[in-house]
Structure 1
């Protein structure tokens, strides 16, 4: 989440909070704002529009500092304000020449999305009122999609998501617009979904049913997709089907660092998350606790690279440690195959 007000007023904030690669075509990127004024989020979206593909308003952050500023989950009590913010953003983008026609602009290079991430209320009727206000006319809705984190503002992350609440909202709104799930997305094979969202078992002639459910895919329900925060931090290869972080993901991260350096503390934080126990059923850790403590005590990148080289060589048997070629080597192999 990037704070819209600071992004508008500070070049330092813009440089610190938003960095994109200029190396060829990049995957679609949606920028998530923390905002509470229509004119602020509209202006910041115009500033960032040339560099990203869409904008999401965060109405889900439960942290006390955010709620004290009427940001994040505090906006779940301000449905009209949220509606006004997404309308103003969409109108500002359209005036500036960006495509905001939702599905009609999916293939348009100038197309930009506007979406909202929400939490739920204890009384789910309040959540439905909120969604109805934010969506508006179903034939000309205000948002491209909706992301639902099925916990209340006060529900700790250690408490499982409210699967039944999600199921009710998916059933009601899943055909009106794309709906994404956020919360407890740690493994594609064991998503914490309500039985109401699972494919129905096959009924046989002898009265028995098949209890086994197929591996989850968003298309098997009315869910349009998934959003992960803690899960993707610990396992960047989550959506590639890996149940825990593979060495290949760590090596890709280190190669990206060589091209686009980060502050050492951020590097150590990311490596610590990726090399620790998985957050899904697979608790495999690339580094044991002692190795993670040793890594976290390092004071320069040279020592970090040397340490990772030694660990990768010892644990994988690959001479030389970290793979420094990665996608470059893959490209060479593909060229050899295509010329054969």
Structure 2
């Protein structure tokens, strides 16, 4: 585990994710906004950017429990945090009670909740009984939830992020069993294990499942196809859930929860600032984050090619300084610009 020496956390009303989910409508006049887990991409610098733009709760990428509890190198590589990284949910890929309890023991002092990944459709994970395999193994999943809640009670918040079954009632039954096991909230991705992301999310299924759980005091979060605030409102109106999780939409526009239709230049300046301040991002990941955000901003296509041909972080910084007005923290107007501030007169497509 790498970090700027974070202190162990205690749950308070300020950072308790369950409290936030249940009270956001009162405190902010809207349901909760959540930045979901993205493989590789939900690292500390990006999480901090999302928080600047109204993401109430933010997730880490999925961390494999077995590797994490057994390998110190995995701990250093997979989990970086600091005292301002809150409210934070650490998502775990796990297939047995022993590894989960060890993982929770190691991680829970440095986050505000644990999320069990029950939705990853990657074949390698499914073969290991991880991710979406768990929605077809409800006894194991509920045993894991119960083990954590029995040991830690309300001192550790626990979420499950699931996909739907072809038979929606099967998902309802799973959710009811999870409620009985003590889960704090459930996130429903409105696709089955085999549904491609190009197929629209099934809001009818999420609505059906949510309505079957209205007698339970367990919040339900909807996930899938939230790319702007119109989508956010549509999902809420259609499904009656307690909040919305965005994932892919945030990669291109981490400011979507603040109502921006496309990524503002200020978000990119925040990202550069945190990437340099915290370190630890592989160059290819840094480059791809910038690529996604600039694509949302309609960067000139030739410049996109130049960007993707750069090979080092130092060269990337020079390229930005040569072509754009890239402000650093402390400079007047830092993170306030909306459109790309080109330094030279080029065609902006």
**TM over 0.5, yes or no?**
yes
**Partner residue of 1:264 out of 270, 273, 283:** 283
Aligned CA RMSD, in angstroms, stands at 2.2
Q: Does 1:324 align with 2:342?
A: no
Hey, what does 1:132 align to over in structure 2? Answer: 176
Closer/same/farther in 2, CA of residues 174 and 186 from structure 1, 3 Å limit: farther
TM-score, normalised with respect to structure 1: 0.75
Q: What's the offset of the Cα at 1:300?
A: 1.5
Does the CA contact (< 8 Å) of 2:93 and 2:131 recur in 1?
yes
Closer/same/farther in 2, CA of residues 326 and 70 from structure 1, 3 Å limit: farther
Hey, what does 1:188 align to over in structure 2? Answer: 229
Q: What's the offset of the Cα at 1:151?
A: 0.6
Structure 1: gaps of 5 or more residues? 95-99, 102-110, 200-220, 278-283, 313-320, 331-340
Larger Rg: 1
Hey, what does 2:51 align to over in structure 1? Answer: none
Q: What's the offset of the Cα at 1:241?
A: 1.7
Closer/same/farther in 2, CA of residues 324 and 60 from structure 1, 3 Å limit: same
Q: Does 1:160 align with 2:179?
A: no
Hey, what does 2:293 align to over in structure 1? Answer: 274
Deviations 1:23-50 (A, max 9, x none): xx43210000100101111110110112
Hey, what does 1:290 align to over in structure 2? Answer: 302
Does the CA contact (< 8 Å) of 2:220 and 2:242 recur in 1?
yes
User: What is the total number of aligned residue pairs between the two structures?
Assistant: 272
Q: Aligned partners of 2:103 and 2:118: how far apart in 1?
A: 17
Q: What's the offset of the Cα at 1:112?
A: 2.7
Deviations 1:97-137 (A, max 9, x none): xxx33xxxxxxxxx43101000111111111111111111x
Does the CA contact (< 8 Å) of 1:49 and 1:112 recur in 2?
yes
Closer/same/farther in 2, CA of residues 172 and 294 from structure 1, 3 Å limit: same
Deviations 1:240-294 (A, max 9, x none): 22121110010001011221122111111111111113xxxxxx42x23322221
Q: Quick check: 35-44 or 294-303, which moved more?
A: 294-303
Does the CA contact (< 8 Å) of 2:263 and 2:293 recur in 1?
yes
**Partner residue of 1:231 out of 228, 249, 270:** 249
Closer/same/farther in 2, CA of residues 175 and 189 from structure 1, 3 Å limit: farther
Does the CA contact (< 8 Å) of 2:88 and 2:112 recur in 1?
yes
Q: Does 1:47 align with 2:59?
A: no
Q: Aligned partners of 2:98 and 2:331: how far apart in 1?
A: 42
Q: Which has the higher strand share?
A: 2
Q: What's the offset of the Cα at 1:192?
A: 8.5
**Partner residue of 1:198 out of 237, 260, 267:** 237
Closer/same/farther in 2, CA of residues 129 and 293 from structure 1, 3 Å limit: same
Does the CA contact (< 8 Å) of 2:86 and 2:111 recur in 1?
no
Pairwise mapping of residues 102-141 of structure 1 onto structure 2 (< 5 A)? 111-136=155-180
Hey, what does 1:245 align to over in structure 2? Answer: 263
Report 1 or 2 for greater relative contact order, CA contacts < 8 Å, sequence distance ≥ 6.
2
Q: Aligned partners of 1:324 and 1:50: how far apart in 2?
A: 33
Hey, what does 1:302 align to over in structure 2? Answer: 314
DSSP-derived class of the 1:147 partner: strand
Does the CA contact (< 8 Å) of 1:36 and 1:70 recur in 2?
yes
Deviations 1:56-110 (A, max 9, x none): 0010011111111111111111001000111112233x2xxxxx33xxxxxxxxx
Q: Does 1:150 align with 2:194?
A: no
Q: Aligned partners of 2:223 and 2:272: how far apart in 1?
A: 28
TM-score, normalised with respect to structure 2: 0.73
